[in-house]
């Protein structure tokens, strides 16, 4: 592999592109071919299952109709007076066999039933004492005078457990070696008082199943259809198909209880018998179509690979041409040429050449822009110095207004101007970012005093901050935005008066402030985070205090809103600033 890579890297760019395109074409063709073959194989098997499951449904319905008719005929005997009287009379008459008159009556009843359905091959009646009478349709009138030992027949317990419901067996219970019939048995109980009178065994011709499975398409040589008795390993009630496949399936099911993976199966459960109706076909037979498709795909892929090789050669030449041109231009730039006049096409390499051309041609312009930016930066610094002078003018103006209000005895106006002046002084704080918590609270009180002139005594402010907390330094302007929010969004929409409570406590090494109002509340607290002032506070807390600190909200409509602000306790004015400056340095 290393030698191959070394050889590849030793090729010219044109050769590398040519080889890469051929390899890509071959890989793509192989992947597409494999996927196409796999999809075709999967589709064929899926279609088989769908078609054969549908055919099984039809076979199931045909078998159900036939067996439903036999069940109805056998149930009709419970309302046949001659049949029920004969069974009642037999158990009271004694003897080992049915009497002549009793046999005659049973013959008439059985003959009447079997004449209504040609799928019934034999009917056997057994009374509760073990007397047995059999009527076989293929032999005309047939009597079988004998008794049955109830304890020696393994099929009787199943009939007894069903308590009058029909039970189907995958074989003839009296002639297990028979391959032409299977048995249905039921316990006969008196409809009048529920007394047990005997048993009825109906031997059904397997021709019934053969007719049901005729709906299948015989185009598959290995196709076999089966009726399997569940719960009994190896018991197949019926199977149809070619002999060698029948033998193979019988052997597999007899040894393993399942059909192995060389077959694809479709199966349904018959609701009357409880048997599994199964169709199976060899995978190898289904795969023949896949093999034909695979051969066609391989031929197409070989043709595509040959065409790809020719196209790859032309593409590699076409790609290499602008590369060669770009290489010459780069050499010229390296020699000191500043202006590039060549034009490039719209290919990827052409776009790279155009960008390189633009970059080189605008190099001088970028330098000029840099000088211009430096001048603008200097101007901004001068404007900043000028803006620091403006607050002093504002302070002097407010002081003049205050003095004039005192002179004219306008106490309310003087008080409002004094509060406003205090707000501006605390907000600017000589440019410092940290202030005492006591000063921040004074800022909040001054703000509420200004608002009092607008709203009167409608809003009240309560401050409950520990003295220890007031002596700590905090970021300035982190309480007033939440007090303002509480007033405008919580209390102002409320009818009547309202109260804003500011609480400050120290918890371990942290300070926790809460701003709570008893206003209208809000359902979606995320709305509170959209305001510029609130968002600014959150960003500054994250910047200066780091992870684990910030703002959280709780609110209930009609009850009010609570804002919780958690920050680190700071005892010296430069603690956080020094720490941040050390990180930045």
Q: Is residue 28 in some structural domain?
A: no
Coil, helix or strand for 370?
helix
Residue 496: CATH number of its domain: 3.30.565.10
- Using alpha carbons only, what angle is made at residue 443 by residues 437 and 445, rounded to the nearest 5 degrees? 105
Kindly give the residue spans of alpha helices, DSSP state H, lying in 129-198.
156-162
464 within domain boundaries: yes
Return the structure tokens found at 290.
């896949």
Residue pair 183/203 in contact by the 8 Å Cβ criterion: yes
Q: Could you list the residue range(s) of the whole structural domain that residue 471 is in?
A: 434-584
423-469 pLDDT, tens per residue? 655 555 555 678 899 988 988 888 888 788 778 788 899 999 999 99
Q: Which carries the bigger pLDDT value, residue 13 or residue 503?
A: 503
Give pLDDT tens digits for 233-290: 657 888 888 888 888 888 887 667 777 788 888 888 888 888 888 888 888 877 766 6
* pLDDT tens-place string over residues 180-189: 899 999 999 9
Domain end position, chosen among 187, 210, 233: 210
Out of 210, 230, 252, a domain closes at 210
Please tell me the distance from the alpha carbon of residue 82 to that of residue 130, in angstroms, as a whole number: 19
In a domain, 523, yes or no: yes
Q: How many whole angstroms separate alpha carbon 507 and alpha carbon 566?
A: 10
Cα separation of 260 and 288, whole Å?
A: 19
How far does CA 405 lie from the centroid of its chain?
Answer: 72
pLDDT of residue 517 exceeding 90, the answer is: yes
Return the CATH number at 139. 3.30.450.20
Reading the block at residue 583, the tokens are 């990180």
Report CA 277 to chain centroid distance, whole Å: 35
Number of compact structural domains in the chain: 2
500 within a domain of the structure (yes/no): yes
Q: Which of these three, 210, 229, 254, is where a domain ends?
A: 210
Helical H segments across 335-410, by residue range = 348-361, 363-407
pTM, 2 dp: 0.47
- Spatial separation of the C-alpha atoms in residues 185 and 207, rounded to whole Å: 19
Strands 167-168 and 146-147: unpaired
Q: Is residue 300 part of a domain?
A: no
Written as six digits, the tokens of 138 are 């293929």
User: Cβ of 468: how many Cβ atoms within 10 Å?
Assistant: 13
Largest CA-CA distance found in the chain, in angstroms, rounded: 144
pLDDT at 390: 45
């Amino acid at each position: 592999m290393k030698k191959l890579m070394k050889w590849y890297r030793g090729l010219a760019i044109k050769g590398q592109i040519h080889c890469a395109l051929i390899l890509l074409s071959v890989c793509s063709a192989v992947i597409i071919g494999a996927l196409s073959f796999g999809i075709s194989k999967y589709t064929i098997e899926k279609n088989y299952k769908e078609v054969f499951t549908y055919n099984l449904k039809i076979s199931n319905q045909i078998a159900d109709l036939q067996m439903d008719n036999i069940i109805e005929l056998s149930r009709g005997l419970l309302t046949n007076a001659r049949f029920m009287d004969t069974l009642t009379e037999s158990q009271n008459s004694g003897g080992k066999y049915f009497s002549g008159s009793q046999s005659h009556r049973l013959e008439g009843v059985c003959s009447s039933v079997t004449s209504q359905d040609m799928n019934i091959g034999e009917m056997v009646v057994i009374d509760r004492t073990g007397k047995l009478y059999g009527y076989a349709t293929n032999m005309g009138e047939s009597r079988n005078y004998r008794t049955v030992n109830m304890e020696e027949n393994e099929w009787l317990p199943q009939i007894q457990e069903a308590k009058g419901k029909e039970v189907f067996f995958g074989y003839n219970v009296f002639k297990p070696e028979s391959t032409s019939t299977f048995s249905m048995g039921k316990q006969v109980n008196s409809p009048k008082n529920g007394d047990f009178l005997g048993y009825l065994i109906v031997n059904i011709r397997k021709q019934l199943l053969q007719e049901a499975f005729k709906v299948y398409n015989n185009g598959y040589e290995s196709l076999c259809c089966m009726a399997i008795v569940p719960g009994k390993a190896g018991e197949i009630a019926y199977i149809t198909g070619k002999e060698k496949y029948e033998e193979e399936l019988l052997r597999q099911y007899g040894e393993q209880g399942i059909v192995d993976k060389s077959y694809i199966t479709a199966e349904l459960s018959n609701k009357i018998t409880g048997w599994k109706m199964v169709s199976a076909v060899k995978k190898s037979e289904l795969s023949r179509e896949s093999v034909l498709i695979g051969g066609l795909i391989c031929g197409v892929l070989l043709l595509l690979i040959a065409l790809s090789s020719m196209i790859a050669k032309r593409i590699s030449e076409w790609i290499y041409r602008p590369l060669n041109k770009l290489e010459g231009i780069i050499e010229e730039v390296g020699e000191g040429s500043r202006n590039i006049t060549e034009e490039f096409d719209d290919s990827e390499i052409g776009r790279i050449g155009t960008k390189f051309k633009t970059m080189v041609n605008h190099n001088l312009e970028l330098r000029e822009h840099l000088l211009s930016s430096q001048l603008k930066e200097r101007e901004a610094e001068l404007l900043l110095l000028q803006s620091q002078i403006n607050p002093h003018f504002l302070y002097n103006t407010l002081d003049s207004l205050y003095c004039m209000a005192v002179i004219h005895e306008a106490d309310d106006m003087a008080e409002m101007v004094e509060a406003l002046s205090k707000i501006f002084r605390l907000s600017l704080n000589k440019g410092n970012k940290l202030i005492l918590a006591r000063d921040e609270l004074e800022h909040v009180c001054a703000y509420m005093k200004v608002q009092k002139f607008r709203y009167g005594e409608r809003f009240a402010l309560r401050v409950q901050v520990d003295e220890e907390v007031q002596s700590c330094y905090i970021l300035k302007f982190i309480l007033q935005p939440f007090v303002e929010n509480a007033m405008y969004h919580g209390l102002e929409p409320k009818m009547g008066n309202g109260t804003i409570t500011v609480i400050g406590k120290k918890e371990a090494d942290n300070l926790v402030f809460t701003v709570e109002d008893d206003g209208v509340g809000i359902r979606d607290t995320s709305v509170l985070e959209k305001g510029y002032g609130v968002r600014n506070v959150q960003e500054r807390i994250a910047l200066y205090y780091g992870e684990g600190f910030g703002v959280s909200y709780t609110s209930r409509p009609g009850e009010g809103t609570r804002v919780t602000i958690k920050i680190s306790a700071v005892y010296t004015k430069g603690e956080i600033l020094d720490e941040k400056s050390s990180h930045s340095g």
